[in-house]
Amino acid sequence: MTESLVQAIEGGAINTWVLSTYWLWPLLEIIHFIGLSLLLGSMLIVDLRLAGYLRQIDIMSMHRLLPWAAIGFAMNLASGFLFFFGDPGRYSINIGFRIKMVLVLIAGLNVLVFALKINPLIGNWEPHGDTPGLAKAIAWVSLSTWTGVLLLGRLIPYIGTG
């Protein structure tokens, strides 16, 4: 399956565009870094507050950071998509990339649990109070997965094909 995916992408319009546009890869790196900063910077504050720390931050003020995290994720999704289509042979067999994608999936499922179980209740919480156990669990899963995504993304060029 991996080989057929790579063959389908290589030589395609997006692959050709990414590889033939001299300035595109460095621009994608910049976009990916800015997106990562928005996503992880926002999520660090959100997750630490949900984990019960940073109680001096009103819970609804923390909640207002979520759109910034979503913008960062969208930037990383778009630039990551173009990275993959630019060099599918390298990414598809890289063990670091594969684990990173599993962690992104886990983080996405965690966001879904947050959206369904925690987000509807946040407005009823004490603004500077402690958070429920489920919120803390979601926060620690998020902190762990996004830290893993960050580390594995940075290690992709170095850990090879496993």
DSSP labels, 69-121: HHHHHHHHHHHHHHHHHHSHHHHHT-HHHHHHHHHHHHHHHHHHHIIIIIGGG
Q: Which of 1-5, 21-25, 136-140 has the lowest mean pLDDT?
A: 1-5
Looking at every residue in the chain, the average pLDDT score rounds to: 93
Residues 61-109 have pLDDT tens digits of 988 999 999 999 999 999 999 999 999 988 989 999 999 999 999 999 9
Binned at pLDDT 50, 70 and 90, residue 1 comes out as low
Residue 160 pLDDT exceeds 80: no
pLDDT (0 to 100) of residue 161: 64
Contact criterion met (CB below 8 Å) for 32 and 83? yes
When pLDDT is cut at 50, 70 and 90, the band that residue 9 belongs to is confident
For 141-156, how does the pLDDT look when each residue is reduced to its tens digit (9 = 90+)? 999 999 999 999 999 8
Q: Select the more confidently predicted residue: 114 or 123.
A: 114
pTM, 2 dp: 0.89
